[in-house]
Structure 1
Amino acid sequence: MKFLFNNASIFRWQHFQKVSLLSIFLTSSIVGFAQEKLKDSTKLETLDEVLVRAVRVKADSPITHSNLSKEDIQERNLGQDIPILLNFLPSVVTTTDAGAGVGYTGIRVRGINAQSTNVTINGIPYNDSESLGTFWVNLNDFASSVESLQLQRGVGTSTNGSGAFGASVNVLTDAVSKEAYGELSNSFGSFNTRKHTMKFSTGLLDDRIEFAGRLSNIKSDGYIDRATSNLKSYFLQGSYKTDNTLIKAITFSGKEVTYQSWNGLEDKDKLKNDRTYNTAGEYTDENGDIQFYENEVDDYQQDHYQLHWNQRFDNNWSTNMALNYTAGHGYFEQYKEDASFADYGLNDVTIGSETILETDLVRRRWLDNNFYVVNANANYKKNAADLLFGGSYSYYNGDHFGEIIWSQFASNSMNTDRYYDNKGTKTDINFFGKGTFKLNDKMSLFADLQIRLVDYEINGINSYMTLLQVDENYTFFNPKAGINYKFNAENSMYFSYARANREPSRDDFENNADVKPEQLNDFELGWRHDKQAFRINVNAYYMLYNEQLILTGDLDQSGSPIRTNSGDSYRLGLEIEAAVQLGEKWSLQPSVTWSSNKNKETITEIDGSLVNLGQTSISFSPEWIASNAITFQPINNLQLTLLSKFVGDQFMSNTEAKASKLDNYFINDFNINYEIKTNRILKSILFSGLVNNIFNVKYASNGFYYTYDDDYSNPPQVTTIHGAGFYPQSTTNFLLGMTLKF
């Protein structure tokens, strides 16, 4: 058998060998050293928590963060995606294409788009390596398998995968259960939405082995016309656990078929009078009547396989090694009316004396990708020092191609032909070391150093039918440091500085050949006050950017947001979040963010001339974001909560154009949970209800803005044409659920 390697392949293989050998050597050395020093096994944190030790921070860390527990998530987990469940955390804005929280959903933190938010699952990077985005639709009902979640705002701590550039979401999946259990959850609601979930655990067999899993199916017709979702997923894990060892084999998968609703709505009359109208799949038949293609869908499956080995050797040393393989495969299908043969590399059709230049056709645009990860880290804790060091290696390959599966006029195309074919590969190597050092009972220091080595290559014809070639290598050094001062048992202050660098995405290279990597200097100053009945966190931040990749407001032909480098820009803000216990039955959880988000200088082309607009607001960055949860618990098993959210005005462009303004909105949801404890076959029955947007507000949480030059006027004159589109969100809707716990 013969193997052929090109230079790039050899380079990646050598890197893989080096990182793999380093990981094995590091872990083996620590094992040998620590086993000699094995003492008692008193544990300060569970072995499950070690899975995310490298990417999470503790409560007294000088990193701005919020935590959600399994119980917090369960209260509203009735089928909506994870971003919607995070909607009431500080500085968070969420949106959904289908309008009701099922299907394609997105999240922005401090005005920063999802491409700049790093997501890890058990320490494994989840962001797509090329787009840098997170497609939560592929993790449908994943909230049912989450043990805890941490949202870090700002640069945060060193993490694996594409660097956090304003926020990071660290997810820990279900912990090992000592006791066997079973759960059946069903929920139903507006727009024919329904969720069916089955969970189980064998508990620890022989005090060492556990098997657990989940099966889920979510369906919804969506608020927007035809924005249907058919989502299937599973989660399975096998665990081996002793006092000092935890080995987990985890696999989870998500399969989604969603009717496209990412076009938004540009027609202002329809936005006012027919706001659920969906232009996706629209075409005109031979009689001139509007029709809709029934299979204008996104069809994609993503399979994940993780292996984790956590080892605690004594009270000082613990290690974690992880392997991951992710496979993704799918397409989105579109009906294209009056498509030019030339645009698809096809010959014009001649019938008799007539030459036909255009045809109706159906195309599929495919993505077939593979993602491999090796993580290794070691933690040393003794007296005043808590040190963590390690590394990560990942390799991605993605095959992008398009097929014509039907054509009114066949021309010279065959069903298996690819009208474009493009491949991308990416290697990401990350080394880090960080530690917390207690100087005394009041003061502690935090330091974090990270080096990322990125090798990214793209080659072939892309979906624009142009040659796209990228061969970039980046070396990023990301230092972080902070100090925490504890005045007393209830009050502490912290200050931190962090540097982040981040590479452009595939879409950035497609839309701008001269795109540059972006840099961020993040300064955070906070005060924490923690009493039994009153807790408050106040944080001020100043995020100073160079060449920040900001949203232009426009979309590419795939519906993805287009970004551009903005030169110098900044985000200055104040975040306040609190938890207040008002007696035994009432509690409040308010949060408010004020921010100023500015491009220091904006130069744009208007009517054929360059115009300097000076300082302008960064797109999709509202000045005010506020939320509150008022909870009333009249008896132990009954909880009523009013959830409120305000998002201020924001522009969808960086020119502050009036047409690009996204109006502020204030919405309120009502959540009820009632649990009946039983002593027979069932442990309990949990009834849940959620009424979203109880005051029937008509609002849009997202949109796009575009400009183009029209120079076909008479007499000839360049005129800049402006347009905007919006994603309407659902008016009042509800979900009702029941969970049987065995």
Structure 2
Amino acid sequence: MKKLPGVILLALLSVSVFSQSNRTFIRGTVTDRSTGSPLAGVVVSLGSKNSLTDEAGHFTFGKQHKGSYPCTINSLGYQSYTTTIPANDSVTDIAIQLIPSVFFLEPLEVKSVRAAELAPFAKTNLSKEEIAKSNLGQDIPFLLNQTPSTVVNSDAGNGVGYTAIHIRGTDATRINVTLNGIPYNDAESMITYFVDLPDFASSVNSIQVQRGVGTSSNGPSAFGATINLSTNEYHDQAYGELNNSFGSFNTWKNTIKAGTGLINDHFTIDARLSRVSSDGYIDRASSDLQSFYLSAAYLNKKSSLRFNLFSGKEKTYQAWYGVPQDSLATHRTYNPAGTEKPGYPYNNQTDNYTQTHYQLFFNHSFNNNWLFNTAVFLTRGYGYYEEYKANAVFTDYGLPNLTVGGTTVTQSDLVRQRWLDNYFYGQIASLQYRKNQDEITLGGGWTKYDGSHFGTLPWIQLSNALKDFRYYSYPAVKTDQHAYLKWQHRINAHWLSFADLQYRHVGHTMKGFEGNAGLNVKRDFDFINPKAGITYTNNGWQGYLSYALGHKEPNRDDFQASPVNQPKAETLHDFELGMEKRTAAYYYGVNFYYMYYRNQLVLTGQINDVGAYTRINTPNSYRMGVELQAGARPAPWLHISGNFSISRNKINAFTEYIDNYDTGGQKSVAHQNTDISFSPHMVGGLTLDFLPVQHLECSLLSKYVGKQYMDNSQDEQRKLNAYFTEDLRIGYTIRNKGLKEWRLVAQVNNLFNRKYEPNGYTYSYISNSALTTSNGYYPMAGTNYMIGLNLQF
């Protein structure tokens, strides 16, 4: 057995030496057929591999097995090109001319908010092919897990149902998310609930993740990252797909996709129907998720009109309470939800929500220099979560006490539902001017959120007379108007400047909060957010320096502070310095950042004068770090890519407040220079792609996340341990065997069965003169698997 590693190594070396003598380089140039100009950023697909053309239109694939390879070239604004490349010589050169499309296809609604290839910001782009590789049922955050500085978690423990993402330590309330340029964050909490978009990844054709403040966008300000998802893809040929996967915890994903291609040279329709279900790793953490997507477009030479209708319906058993620390070692899957009910846990302790999106886009090209885009949208949300409450006090629900058999009864078991009923609608627009060395974009939009929070009591143990009693109702309205101007100017062949100025006005009107029905809040905020940077490119090198200023309004819960102690807006100064080198065989890059916060809102444990725990503005805090990325193809059968982030995330000074049950008050503890919660010092990802034979790809995905603290005290008793996990994915593709493509995918998550918790909570209190810390955790599943079969017609 001791000789086995040496035998394996010798065999691999022998295969490598043999393969080198039977390989060929494939390279080529892509140009515009009408002008002869080279085309940069064109996606060239060779079998299962992809490459991008450089500024001279060149692309290169490393040494390949001799033979014939299907090749597809796609670029926005050009007709798709498909050919077969015979690779029989040591070097194969090809020249490809793309024909400009007679239709207006460029999705300006996305282009106006995304960072361009040479924009001076840290960013990662994921193609449709990269997304599809791991799309076996897990939510969108888990598809982004290998991007730099990213940490993901899941309430149910397996990536299905409620999931969350942190980028550079910032949570989802500070990550701006857009769908085709349209804001998606919840207008009040600013959280992104991807659970309301089941299997949306199956309709997404590209994702861009910007780290830091990034470029101006629509919706809430980016205070750590931006995620742009695009679905407005054009298919000129009819297609059909049937994607099914099954795995651990009775997890199923069933997806049907179809498209008409171009009808009568102008019309196209795309549709998707999906269902995702899972029992979850955590007890009773089941998910039943359904969704559909429909997009219809009219295209001509100068304009496009597109209508998108998509909807998601979710029913999940609540798993958001976490696992108490005393159960973690003996019962990692314990779920306290529903256990207030005597006997068996309440079987309908569920979250139920339906969200439907209506999007209408119009793009128009006036001439070669002027482009216009506008979109109107409506997002309709409606749903509730249900809870069993034991011995609920009637007066807490506005109910009268009951007299039963001559005895006054003040409490009873009951079931309550907490509802959200909301409309979010608005418009975005952009006007773009491109000529010679300049690209100028004037954009903006307006949105309005009209929502109602209310609670009902569908069941009361001792009384049916008050069934469906509405025990609270809190309406809220939020408006947002913004405008931005972006200017990108090419100074010369190597230098490019970027400037961006945004104005944003936000208005909040809220009538009542939980526990404080009489508190009415009307607040307005005006923000000016400038950004500027410069980029240098030369011979595969790219370097950039940028500064961006961001402001962010408080969340709904922050306004509960009191009428006199209202929260301030947050301010972020973001400095980015990056450099990268890219060739056909390898790339590497480094990005330095410094993010300085003024008045960042953090939890301190302090109870305000209305008895609620709310976040408090801290004067000074910062994040600074370095993000390293690299990738290489040392052999034709091996591709390596990875990233590693090292950061320092500090609050200069804050005061922690601890409940003292002995006195009925709170104890204050002053802290200096402590770590910001949920901000690990080190985060890394490594992907090894093996291509042992044609059509077979094996990938080993590794992830490391350093120690995190669950609050801002930097107390070692309130931490999440570091963890290192590895996933294995195997994909085998067969083409033109009865169908256009067969793809079998198998993925084993947490290959070595690590026990780890990427998220949690902590609460400390004083009782009997002793400090007690109570922690809860959200553990992830041990070794689990998913198997999928994807068919393309």
TM-score of the pair, normalised by structure 2: 0.84
Q: For 1:588, which of 607, 631, 640 is the aligned residue? A: 640
Task: Quote the offset at 1:274 in angstroms.
Answer: 0.8
Task: Quote the offset at 1:685 in angstroms.
Answer: 0.8
Task: Tell me, in whole angstroms, the C-alpha distance in 2 between the residues paired with 1:94 and 1:725.
Answer: 17
* Residues 1:206 and 2:267 are matched in the alignment: no
The 8 Å contact of residues 335 and 362 in structure 1, kept in 2 or not, is answered as yes
Task: Quote the offset at 1:554 in angstroms.
Answer: 11
Task: Quote the offset at 1:245 in angstroms.
Answer: 1.4
2:479 counterpart residue number: 427
Change (3 A) 1:663 1:327: same
* Residues 1:532 and 2:584 are matched in the alignment: yes
2:656 counterpart residue number: 604
Which range is displaced more, 432-441 or 544-553? 544-553
* Residues 1:698 and 2:743 are matched in the alignment: no
Q: What does the per-residue CA deviation read over 1:139-164, in whole Å, with 9 as the maximum and x for residues that have no partner?
A: 11000000100000000000001111
Task: Quote the offset at 1:51 in angstroms.
Answer: 2.5
Q: For 1:649, which of 702, 707, 710 is the aligned residue? A: 707
* Residues 1:466 and 2:517 are matched in the alignment: yes
Structure 2: runs of 5+ lacking an equivalent: 1-98, 661-665
Task: Tell me, in whole angstroms, the C-alpha distance in 2 between the residues paired with 1:233 and 1:584.
Answer: 40
Task: Tell me, in whole angstroms, the C-alpha distance in 2 between the residues paired with 1:561 and 1:647.
Answer: 29
Equivalent residues in 2 for 1:302-313, closer than 5 Å: 302-313=355-366
Task: Tell me, in whole angstroms, the C-alpha distance in 2 between the residues paired with 1:480 and 1:495.
Answer: 11
The 8 Å contact of residues 331 and 364 in structure 1, kept in 2 or not, is answered as yes
% same residue: 44
Task: Tell me, in whole angstroms, the C-alpha distance in 2 between the residues paired with 1:666 and 1:277.
Answer: 23
Equivalent residues in 2 for 1:406-485, closer than 5 Å: 406-410=459-463, 414-460=466-512, 462-464=513-515, 466-485=517-536
Task: Tell me, in whole angstroms, the C-alpha distance in 1 between the residues paired with 2:316 and 2:122.
Answer: 36
SS at match of 1:536: strand
Task: Quote the offset at 1:658 in angstroms.
Answer: 2.1
Task: Quote the offset at 1:56 in angstroms.
Answer: 0.3
2:411 counterpart residue number: 358
* Residues 1:151 and 2:203 are matched in the alignment: no
1:24 counterpart residue number: none
2:456 counterpart residue number: 403
Change (3 A) 1:511 1:143: farther
2:774 counterpart residue number: 723
* Residues 1:506 and 2:564 are matched in the alignment: no
Change (3 A) 1:79 1:554: farther
1:59 counterpart residue number: 117
1:187 counterpart residue number: 245
Equivalent residues in 2 for 1:300-379, closer than 5 Å: 300-379=353-432
Task: Tell me, in whole angstroms, the C-alpha distance in 1 between the residues paired with 2:217 and 2:299.
Answer: 26
The 8 Å contact of residues 500 and 532 in structure 2, kept in 1 or not, is answered as yes
1:8 counterpart residue number: none
Task: Tell me, in whole angstroms, the C-alpha distance in 1 between the residues paired with 2:605 and 2:789.
Answer: 41
1:674 counterpart residue number: 732
Task: Tell me, in whole angstroms, the C-alpha distance in 1 between the residues paired with 2:718 and 2:171.
Answer: 17
Structure 1: runs of 5+ lacking an equivalent: 1-40
Change (3 A) 1:66 1:551: farther
SS at match of 2:759: strand
Q: What does the per-residue CA deviation read over 1:450-475, in whole Å, with 9 as the maximum and x for residues that have no partner?
A: 00011111013x33353332100100
Task: Tell me, in whole angstroms, the C-alpha distance in 1 between the residues paired with 2:613 and 2:177.
Answer: 19
Q: What does the per-residue CA deviation read over 1:117-149, in whole Å, with 9 as the maximum and x for residues that have no partner?
A: 000000000001001110000011000000100
SS at match of 2:514: coil
Number of residue pairs the alignment of both structures matches: 684
Task: Tell me, in whole angstroms, the C-alpha distance in 2 between the residues paired with 1:275 and 1:564.
Answer: 33
1:271 counterpart residue number: 328
Change (3 A) 1:374 1:696: same
The 8 Å contact of residues 554 and 706 in structure 1, kept in 2 or not, is answered as no
Change (3 A) 1:361 1:91: same
Q: What does the per-residue CA deviation read over 1:634-684, in whole Å, with 9 as the maximum and x for residues that have no partner?
A: 23311100000000001001011222110000000011111111253x111
2:105 counterpart residue number: 47
SS at match of 1:243: coil
2:623 counterpart residue number: 571
TM-score of the pair, normalised by structure 1: 0.90
The 8 Å contact of residues 124 and 373 in structure 1, kept in 2 or not, is answered as no
Q: For 2:314, which of 256, 269, 283 is the aligned residue? A: 256
Task: Quote the offset at 1:390 in angstroms.
Answer: 1.5
Task: Tell me, in whole angstroms, the C-alpha distance in 2 between the residues paired with 1:685 and 1:115.
Answer: 40
1:227 counterpart residue number: 285
Q: Which amino acid aligns with 2:554?
A: P
Equivalent residues in 2 for 1:514-553, closer than 5 Å: 514-550=566-602
Q: Which amino acid aligns with 1:694?
A: L
The 8 Å contact of residues 594 and 623 in structure 1, kept in 2 or not, is answered as yes
2:541 counterpart residue number: 491
Task: Tell me, in whole angstroms, the C-alpha distance in 2 between the residues paired with 1:46 and 1:673.
Answer: 35
Q: What does the per-residue CA deviation read over 1:169-209, in whole Å, with 9 as the maximum and x for residues that have no partner?
A: 00100401000000011100000000100000000011210
Higher relative contact order (CA 8 A, sep 6+): 1
Change (3 A) 1:555 1:265: farther
Task: Tell me, in whole angstroms, the C-alpha distance in 2 between the residues paired with 1:468 and 1:250.
Answer: 39
Task: Tell me, in whole angstroms, the C-alpha distance in 2 between the residues paired with 1:603 and 1:267.
Answer: 25
Task: Tell me, in whole angstroms, the C-alpha distance in 2 between the residues paired with 1:43 and 1:553.
Answer: 59
Task: Quote the offset at 1:492 in angstroms.
Answer: 2.1
The 8 Å contact of residues 104 and 300 in structure 2, kept in 1 or not, is answered as no
Which range is displaced more, 349-358 or 173-182? 349-358
The 8 Å contact of residues 555 and 704 in structure 1, kept in 2 or not, is answered as no
Task: Quote the offset at 1:562 in angstroms.
Answer: 6.0
Change (3 A) 1:321 1:598: same
Change (3 A) 1:44 1:125: farther
* Residues 1:161 and 2:219 are matched in the alignment: yes
